[in-house]
Structure 1
Amino acid sequence: MKLHPVDPKELTPGLLQAFGTKNALLTAGDWEHCNTMTIGWCQAGRLWNLPVCTVYVRPERYTYQFMEDQDYFTVSVLPEGEKKTMALCGSRSGRDMDKIKECGLTVRYGAGGAPFFEEAEAVLVCRKLYVQDMAPECVVAGQEKILPYYGEKGGWHRIYTGEIAEAYSAD
Structure 2
Amino acid sequence: MAFRKISISELSFNPFDKIGKQWMLLTGGDSSSFNTMTASWGQLGVLWNKDVFTCYIRPNRYTYGFIEKGECFTASFFGEEFRQALSFCGSNSGRDCDKVKEAGLTPAEIGGCMAFEEAELVLVCRKLYSYDLQESGFLTDDGIPEKFFSKDPYHRAYISEITGVYVKE
TM-score of the aligned structures, taking structure 1 as reference length: 0.92
Which residues of 2 match residues 1-171 of structure 1 at below 5 A? Answer: 2-11=2-11, 13-14=12-13, 16=15, 17-111=17-111, 113-152=112-151, 154-170=152-168
Which has the higher mean CA deviation after the structures are superposed, 2-11 or 33-42? 2-11
| Greater percentage in strand | 2
2:135/2:145 contact within 8 Å kept = no
Deviation, 1:104, is 2.1
1:136/1:147 contact within 8 Å kept = no
SS at match of 2:20: coil
Distance 1:9 1:54 in 2: 18
Distance 2:68 2:140 in 1: 30
Deviation, 1:90, is 0.6
Give me the CA root mean square deviation: 1.5
Cα deviation digits, residues 84-123 of structure 1 (max 9, x gap): 1011001000000111111221222133x31011111111
Q: Structure 1: state its 5+ residue gaps.
A: none
Runs of 4+ in 1 over 3 A off after TM superposition: none
Which has the higher mean CA deviation after the structures are superposed, 73-82 or 96-105? 96-105
Q: 1:169 to 1:78 in 2, by over 3 A?
A: same
Of all paired residues, the percent bearing the same amino acid is 41
* Counterpart AA for 2:164: E
Distance 1:145 1:56 in 2: 15
Cα deviation digits, residues 106-143 of structure 1 (max 9, x gap): 222133x3101111111100000001000010010243
